[in-house]
Amino acid sequence: MNFFKYIIITAFSFMIFSSCSKNSFESIGAFTVKKCEGYTEVGDGIGRKFILVPRGKKPPENIGEATVVYTPVKRVIAYSTCDVSFLMGFGILKQVLVGVTQEKKDWTNEFIRQSLDNGKIVFIGQSSMINYELLKQTKPDVVFTWNTAIVPVLDKMKIPVIITSTDSALGLEAQIKYVKFVAPFYEKEKEAEVFCGKFLKAANDIRKKSAAAGKRPRVIWGDVYNKRVLVEPKNAWVSELVKVSGGEYELDDVQGTSCLEITLERFFLAGRTADVMFTYRSAKTGINTKKQLAIENPIMRKIKPMISGNIYSPKEIYYESYHKLDEVMYEIASIIQPAIFGEPKYKYFIKLK
C-alpha cells in the first residue's frame, strides 16, 4: 500500500468511527475497545479492526476494511487456554467452545476432556499443523489465535480471526484488563468489569502489603532448554508482579515480547544472584525435578536457585485459570514473601525438589 493510499484510508476510517464516544475508548496494551452507539469497535493484537454488532441489528455503513462480527458469538475456536479460561469464568464454556488446539491429555477441565471424546469440541490439530478442512467444518463464528500466519487462510474462508498476541508482552495492568477486550464478543461486559475489579483489588492489596518488605528476594523467570533460554522480559505481567510482590527482578534490562530468547551467558549472570526461579518447564515437558533441569542444560547446575534457592513450576491448572488471576497473583506473592502473605498453598505452582 503506497503512502497516499494509506492516508486516504486512515482519514476515511476516522470519519467512519467518529460516532464513537471519546470517553468510551480504552487501550489495553495493544488492544483497543470503543463502545459506540449500536455497536462496539475493537482492535486486536496487530491492529485489525472488528465491528461487533448485536444479532438482529444492522452494522454501520461504510466500515472500510473492518470485519463485522455478530454478537454474542455462539461458536468459538480458541488457541489459547487464556481465552478458554474466560469462557469458564463467564459461564458459557459449554455453550460456545467448539474447537481447540490442545489434545485431551493437555486439559484439566473435565467438560473439555469429555467433549473431545464425544465430538462436541473438536481438536483441530496442533497450533503449527492445523487441519483447515476440519476447522471449516466446525463452522466457527470466530477464531481466537496468537498465530498471525493463519490470517490469510481464514480470510479466504470468510472466518473472522482475532489475534491475541502482541509485539510487546502485556504488562500487569493490561493482563488484568485483557478480559475487557474479549468480553464484548460474548456481550459479557458487566461480568468483565467484575473480574477487573477483583483483579485490580488483589494487585493493589499485594502492592500495599509488600511495601513494608525488608529483604526483597531476587527473582528470575525463564525456560532453559538444551541450547536456548527463553525469559519473561521486565515489561511482562509476571515480572511486574514480582516487583509488586516485594521481589527484585534480575532480568530488569530485558524488554520485548513474552518468552524472549536471550543468551545462555546473560541468563547465567542473572542466575548467579537470584534467590528464586520460576519456569514454565514442567512435567508436561519432561521436567519434574531440579536434577532434570540440570541434565537438560549443565548451566543450571551453577545458578543460585539450583544450589541454595528455590525453583517453581506451574501446575497444568495454572494455564486454565486466568479467570482466577487474583488467586494466581496471591500465590506468586506468597512464594516471594511468605512472611507477609503466608505460606503458599501450592494450588497453581509446585516447588521442584
User: What string of pLDDT tens digits covers the 353 residues of the chain?
Assistant: 443 333 333 443 444 334 444 558 999 999 999 999 999 999 999 999 999 999 999 999 989 999 999 999 999 999 999 999 999 999 999 999 999 999 999 999 999 999 999 999 999 999 989 999 999 999 999 999 999 999 999 999 999 999 999 999 999 999 999 999 999 999 999 999 999 999 999 999 999 999 989 899 999 999 998 889 999 999 999 999 999 999 999 999 999 999 999 999 999 999 999 999 999 998 777 788 898 888 888 888 899 999 988 999 999 999 999 999 999 999 999 999 999 999 999 999 999 99
Q: Please give the mean pLDDT across all residues of the chain.
A: 92
Q: Does residue 197 sit within a domain?
A: no
Same domain assignment for residues 215 and 343:
yes
Boundary residue ending a domain (108, 130, 163): 163
The SS3 assignment for 214 reads: coil
Same domain assignment for residues 147 and 232:
no
Boundary residue ending a domain (163, 183, 201): 163
Q: Does residue 173 sit within a domain?
A: no
For the chain, what is the domain count?
3
Burial string for 278-303 (b: 16+ CB within 10 Å, else e) reads: bbbbbeeeebeebeebbebbebbeeb
Output the nine-digit C-alpha cell for 55.
444479532
Q: pLDDT value at position 287? A: 83
Same domain assignment for residues 298 and 220:
yes
Largest CA distance in the chain: 64
- pTM attached to this predicted model: 0.90
Which amino acid appears at position 298 of this protein? Answer: P
Q: pLDDT value at position 203? A: 98
Q: Does residue 204 sit within a domain?
A: no
Cis peptide before 72 (omega within 30 of 0): yes
Same domain assignment for residues 256 and 320:
yes
| Cβ neighbours around 131 below 10 Å, total | 13
Same domain assignment for residues 338 and 224:
yes
As a whole number of Å, the end-to-end CA separation of the chain is: 56
Q: Does residue 175 sit within a domain?
A: no
Q: Which ranges constitute the DSSP H helices of the chain?
A: 3-16, 81-90, 93-96, 110-118, 132-137, 151-156, 172-186, 189-210, 237-244, 264-273, 290-296, 304-307, 325-336, 338-341
Domain of 266? 210-351
Same domain assignment for residues 93 and 117:
yes
Q: Does residue 180 sit within a domain?
A: no
Q: pLDDT value at position 4? A: 37
d(CA 284, CA 131): 24
- The CATH code of the domain that includes 244 is 3.40.50.1980
The dihedral over CA atoms of 213, 217, 218, 222, expressed in degrees to the nearest 10, equals: -110
Find the radius of gyration of the CA atoms of the chain.
Answer: 22
Same domain assignment for residues 233 and 292:
yes
Same domain assignment for residues 51 and 89:
no
Same domain assignment for residues 133 and 244:
no
The dihedral over CA atoms of 38, 43, 48, 52, expressed in degrees to the nearest 10, equals: -30
